[in-house]
Amino acid sequence: MKRIVYTPNAPKAVGPYSQAVITENFVYTSGQVALTPEGNLLRVASIADEVHQVMKNLAAILQAGGVDFDAVVRTTIYVTDVSLYSEVNKAYGVYMKEPYPARETVGVKELPLGARVEISMIAEAPMRKSS
């Protein structure tokens, strides 16, 4: 059985998808770009600003799913310019601590809405008691 996660503290989905889905064992977030929850405006001042907004969005979604960054077991990062890798890595690293989740970073041609970075996560869900 799956449960859909929604929080007003992260941007609304801009397509036919959910912010996250919880299964019995995991919370799967949708990819997040640097949209603000207040008006779905893309925050693009710098790549670090984009990553910080993305991570704030992910934190809100994970919290609505009953977990936080400590529960993340895998992260996928998409970036439109791999020369920005070190800046993305530095901003991402502010939010993550050891033991780090598994991660992949993929260079892509473009992302929705002109974003330069998109991040999704899979987190271990809290154990649920059977009813």
pTM: 0.93
pLDDT at 42: 76
pLDDT at 130: 45
Mean pLDDT by 10 residues, the chain (131 residues): 94 92 95 88 85 97 97 98 97 97 97 94 76 40
pLDDT at 45: 83
User: What distance lies between CA 105 and its chain's CA centroid?
Assistant: 13
pLDDT at 128: 57
Which tokens sit at 82? 């791999």
pLDDT at 14: 82
Q: At what angle do helices 85-93 and 47-64 cross, to 10 degrees?
A: 40
Phi-psi group of 105: left, alpha or beta (phi > 0 → left; psi -120 to 50 → alpha; rest → beta): beta
According to CATH, the superfamily of the domain at 3-124 is RutC-like (3.30.1330.40)
